[in-house]
Amino acid sequence: MPCLLKEWFSHVPTSNLPVNRKLQRNQLLQVKMSVSNHENRKSRSSSGSMNIQLFHKASHADSLLTHLNLLRKRRVFTDVVLQAGHRAFPCHRAVLASCSRYFEAMFSGGLKESRDAEVNFHDSLHPEVLELLLDYAYSARIIINEENAESLLEAGDMLQFHDIRDASAEFLEKNLHPSNCLGMMLLSDAHQCERLYELSWRMCLANFASLFRTEDFLRLPKEKVQELIFSEELEVEDESLVYEAVIDWVKADVERRMVDLPELLRCVRLALLPESYLLKNVASEELVMSHKVGREIVEDAVRCRMRILQNDGVVTGFCARPRKVSQALLLLGGQTFMCDKVYMIDHKTKEITPKTDIPSPRKECSACAIGCKVYVTGGRGSENGASKDVWVYDTLHDEWSKAAPMLVARFGHGSAELDHILYVVGGHTSLAGSFPASPSVSLKQVEQYDPQTNKWTLVAPLREGVSNAAVVGAKNKLFAFGGTSVNREKFPKVQCFDPCQNRWSVPAVCPQLWRYTAAAVVGNHVVVIGGDTEFSASSAYRFNSETYQWSKFGDVTAKRISCHAVASGNRLYVVGGYFGAQRSPGNICLPRTEDSRQFDQQCCLECGCVSPLAALGMLQGGGLGGALGGGGGRG
């Protein structure tokens, strides 16, 4: 190339060239000199080894996107216009294709749109949603909120902005609630969001009793209704609820749905219903008995029921098969004695059996359930020192594993779950240099654990350090009731943590001085039970987590310090504890009815561990169906 340039220039007289040609000739001469200089420099530095420097500007990608966005807004170099509704959005094909395989396929294939200057989505895409997606394509940023999350998920899936689809699904996961889980189940199923579907599906199964009368349930397609009521993991205390759900769903659109009635009735375990209910409610239902197949299904169920009542052999029909789900309590830990086992209590059979061994025996730990896993945090081991260890029990696979250790070693603390995040609150740690290990003053430190990243993070500290407080999560907030203060006195207040603001507040005063209490969430209320005084040990109060108001709830049958509690549906279970020299053998008390404020004793713990309770939860078909109550492993 330099030789050709030299030969060409030697035959061109510069005096005969016009001015613009002279400029071009000068530019070509500069190219020639640049190439020649580069070759000379290479030869000078070729000494067998060459020094190399890699330059990387971290902000280059951001700068590039920022400038591309400016060009888009000025309509410079734009080569396609996206239409949605009555709005037009000029864009660059290269940017769209880089962000979306949908646009990449559209512009690179032989489709008509690959040549068109406009792509019109008509009414299939809202212009505001398209604008958000385009802003993300040119800035890598987007704001997802309750108003746009579902639309962004749908549009992200449609246009194959998969990052947006997944981010929207994650946002919806954190805002999943029984009031929206049916809709989320359908949405996630339609757009292949597996985790959101799994979470919403489980919530539908767990809250079926409160969902089947809602408009969302009555609008479900037949296939989803059938899948729900057929599931072995459907959580209902009474099979009559399943039957009523089928009848209500059919009656919501009788003309179209009557044909589906027999298929749905076959999914109901009719033979598990009381004989009186079968005869008075089912056999007298005109909708069922007017259908030939429906009559046959009911007659078969009545025969099965009679055989069950008469003990006439083994009844193996589907209509008589109990669902796999049986509610049970998991018990572990203690305060006075080391405990090395987790116990399971089935409240239907009144049986208590060892479930699994704890890998590292401990006392004064805390436990909390997230999904189907139990997280056992901290505590004191055989040498009495505070522990940072976190052990995880997978109830589905009956396996233990170790998670990342806490940032602060602690015991006598509380733990609770909010939005699939684990929080540990307060407690004690061991004083440095003391032997045997002595407890510190009550801690203010609060930390959170994300199971997805396996990382702990410190959050805002308590307003007042406490240990032995009752800790629960309710209405997207964390509550710590009472406890022992840094002055080793009873702390008389409620402390509330708002994770959105990362701030603790004191919204209410406790009706009495509390520590070593139990708390559990029932609906909008937190029920607080027990304490370490003559009066508080048998009392139960109800705290409204929205208005922060207290009301008296009733009395338990036995005075209790360091008991624990958990709620399942509208039933509250109180376990273990002691009062004075009398230690409870693990008695379990619960309200006699859903609305009752009186408590009955149900069963006793038949094991050597006198004070076994650090945490408990409702075990559903091998998995934990509800968050374990907070509160450290108090016996």
Question: DSSP string of 336-355?
Answer: SS-EEEEEEEETTTTEEEEE
Q: Which of 203-217, 419-433, 511-525, 579-593 has the lowest mean pLDDT?
A: 579-593
Domain identity same for 262 and 137: no
Distance CA 595, CA 553 (A): 10
Distance CA 193, CA 175 (A): 15
Domain identity same for 459 and 590: yes
- pLDDT tops 70 at residue 65: yes
- 512 band by pLDDT with thresholds 50, 70 and 90: confident
Q: What is the mean pLDDT of residues 363-367?
A: 88
Q: What is the mean pLDDT of residues 212-219?
A: 94
Domain identity same for 211 and 157: no
SS3 290: coil
CB 520 within 8 A of CB 572: yes
- pLDDT tops 70 at residue 510: yes
Dihedral of alpha carbons 616, 620, 621, 622, sign: negative
User: Domain containing 220: what range?
Assistant: 207-320
- Please tell me the predicted confidence (pLDDT) of residue 509: 94
- Please tell me the predicted confidence (pLDDT) of residue 632: 35
Distance CA 411, CA 405 (A): 13
Domain identity same for 338 and 388: yes
- Phi and psi at residue 212, to the nearest 5°: -70, -15
More confident residue, 578 or 599: 578
Domain identity same for 312 and 218: yes
More confident residue, 411 or 599: 411
| Of residues 587, 584, 577, the one with CA closest to residue 633 | 577
Length of the chain: 635
Distance CA 533, CA 580 (A): 10
CB 456 within 8 A of CB 404: yes
Domain identity same for 409 and 492: yes
Out of 293, 320, 347, a domain closes at: 320
Distance CA 221, CA 385 (A): 57
- pLDDT tops 90 at residue 141: yes
Residue 356 domain-assigned?
yes
Strand-by-strand arrangement of the 328-332 sheet: 328-332, 339-346, 351-362
pTM of structure? 0.52
Domain identity same for 315 and 361: no
Out of 320, 344, 376, a domain closes at: 320
CATH of the domain at 212: 1.25.40.420
Domain identity same for 415 and 266: no
Out of 155, 175, 195, a domain closes at: 175
Distance CA 575, CA 604 (A): 9
Residue 454 domain-assigned?
yes
Domain identity same for 496 and 617: yes
- pLDDT tops 50 at residue 245: yes
Residue 297 domain-assigned?
yes
- Please tell me the predicted confidence (pLDDT) of residue 189: 95
Q: What is the mean pLDDT of residues 468-472?
A: 92
Total of domains in the chain: 3
The whole-chain average pLDDT of the chain stands at: 80
Cis peptide leading into 436, omega within 30 of 0?
yes
- Please tell me the predicted confidence (pLDDT) of residue 611: 25
- Please tell me the predicted confidence (pLDDT) of residue 539: 77
More confident residue, 55 or 115: 55
Percentage, residues of the chain above pLDDT 70: 73
Distance CA 145, CA 168 (A): 9
More confident residue, 15 or 379: 379
SS3 622: coil
CB 235 within 8 A of CB 326: no
CATH of the domain at 110: 3.30.710.10
Domain identity same for 532 and 584: yes
Domain identity same for 332 and 299: no
- pLDDT tops 50 at residue 435: no
- pLDDT tops 50 at residue 624: no
